[in-house]
Amino acid sequence: MAKKKIGILTGGGDCPGLNAVIRAAVRRGITVHDYEFLGLRKGWLGLVKGDAFPLTLGDVEEILPQGGTILGSSRTNPFGSNSGEEVPACEQHFKELGLDALLAIGGDDTLGVARKFSDRGLPMVGAPKTIDNDLSGTDYTFGFWTSIERVMESIDWLRTTAMSHERIFVVEAMGRSAGWIAAYGGMAGAADYILTPEKPFTLDELVWSMKRRWDAGIHYAVIVVAEGAEWHEREIIQEDVAKDEFGHAYLGGIGLELSKALGKTLAPDLGRKANDLTRHVVLSHLQRGGTPCAFDRILGTRFGAAAVDLIAAKKFGYMVALQGHNIVPVEITDAVSVTKVVDQKFLDLASNFYY
Ligand code: F6P
């Protein structure tokens, strides 16, 4: 009997641990289920173009510690194209490549596409990836804890220079609609203020907190702000913001704006020059690149193995998820329909450490 052929793709922003999933899926798929694998290049673009290559045990042998993805990635959305030709092209290539099932590794956008193809009858399973940790149905997505380590270390490093120069550093973390990275990275690094999309803020409350620090004799601060934090006074002119194929705006810039506004408002009271008091750092893709931490290697490995077991069980339309200590199947629809946001209690706890 011909071996079953499984496609794998990685879509959306890359993150550490993608290769751990690919390695585990291929290894378990070949050695336990006797499958063959095809890697699709650059996310859904690979299926749109029929661009694929055989993935062997040798290809995945050394990749566990490697960041990024050996398959490449893109933010291609076949359902978002104006021509209407990309969805049928994907279905055609699925057949021509002889695929029996496809493992889509991605965040809400990539898995949203998998769900749509699943609704149209293509056998899909998913594995939840994103440093943003904003997918529902799973306690954590892989990549998240690596990014937390990076934010934590950055705060540690910035604290020493902030203290030397009695400065306020505004550190901009990723997170468009949920502030997981800012909140967890901030708490791990003992940030002196954390700003997220979940809890709108005003400049006044931040200024007030900084003044309290200074009054208490602590003349420096490290503030972490999520790129999508809700700042009441901030105005974004939407037409000027570039969007990706899934309609997401490219954010960034809040750290600089906040640092300037803080400097201007606070410096006169502290007897400082505005342009000397504050500095900003955009952590950007340093949070996403490089080697995965131990947790993400293990989570990725468990996800990859469980995903091929889902295929073997013909449980299509599901993604693997971490709930407590267990890896469980969750309907992709449930995972992508609601953005998972940071618990208010967690943010309240973080605020216990501000002045
Ligand atoms: O993967 C999600 C994310 O990390 C967001 O937090 C961020 O806004 C976005 O990716 C940036 O991605 P890129 O620059 O690759 O488009």
**Are 275 and 300 part of one and the same domain?**
no
Residue of 73, 132, 134, 254 with the most ligand 1 atoms within 8 Å of its CB, for mutation? 132
pLDDT for residue 316 is more than 60:
yes
What percent of the chain stands above pLDDT 90? 92
Question: Across residues 10-37, what is the average pLDDT?
Answer: 98
pLDDT for residue 239 is more than 80:
no
Residues with a catalytic annotation lie at: 132
pLDDT digits (tens, 9 = 90+) for 246-281: 877 777 789 999 999 999 999 999 999 999 999 999
**Are 180 and 260 part of one and the same domain?**
yes
**Are 32 and 11 part of one and the same domain?**
yes
Residue that wins the pLDDT comparison between 248 and 108? 108
Do residues 141 and 128 touch, judged by C-beta distance below 8 A? Answer: yes
Residue ranges around ligand 1 (CB below 6 Å)? 12-13, 130-132, 174-176, 227, 251, 288
Ligand 1 centroid, distance to 13 Cα (angstroms): 5
Question: Across residues 53-64, what is the average pLDDT?
Answer: 98
**Are 332 and 278 part of one and the same domain?**
no
Q: Which atom number of ligand 1 is nearest to the Cα of residue 130?
A: 1
Question: Across residues 171-189, what is the average pLDDT?
Answer: 97
CA gyration radius for the chain? 22
**pLDDT at site 238:** 54
Nearest CA to 57 out of 32, 31, 39, 33 is that of 31
Residue that wins the pLDDT comparison between 308 and 240? 308
**pLDDT at site 106:** 98
pLDDT for residue 24 is more than 70:
yes
**What is the pLDDT of the chain when averaged over all its residues?**
96
In order of 76, 98, 106, 121, 240, the CA distances from 91 in angstroms are 15, 11, 19, 10, 35
**Are 43 and 134 part of one and the same domain?**
yes
Question: Across residues 33-41, what is the average pLDDT?
Answer: 98
**pLDDT at site 244:** 82
Q: What is the CATH number of the domain that holds 122?
A: 3.40.50.450
Tally of structural domains, the chain: 2
Do residues 141 and 319 touch, judged by C-beta distance below 8 A? Answer: no
pLDDT for residue 237 is more than 60:
no
Record the pTM: 0.95
Ligand 1 centroid, distance to 175 Cα (angstroms): 8
Please list the alpha-helical segments (H only) found in 32-177: 44-49, 57-60, 86-96, 108-119, 144-165
Range of the domain at 39: 5-142+290-337
Nearest CA to 3 out of 95, 101, 121, 90 is that of 101
Residue of 77, 245, 287, 288 with the most ligand 1 atoms within 8 Å of its CB, for mutation? 288
Question: Across residues 71-100, what is the average pLDDT?
Answer: 96
Q: What is the CATH number of the domain that holds 266?
A: 3.40.50.460
Q: Which residues pair with 37 in a beta bridge?
A: 6, 55
**pLDDT at site 132:** 97
Ligand 1 centroid, distance to 287 Cα (angstroms): 10
Residue 196, classed as helix, strand or coil, is coil
Question: Across residues 202-231, what is the average pLDDT?
Answer: 96
Q: Which atom number of ligand 1 is nearest to the Cα of residue 15?
A: 1
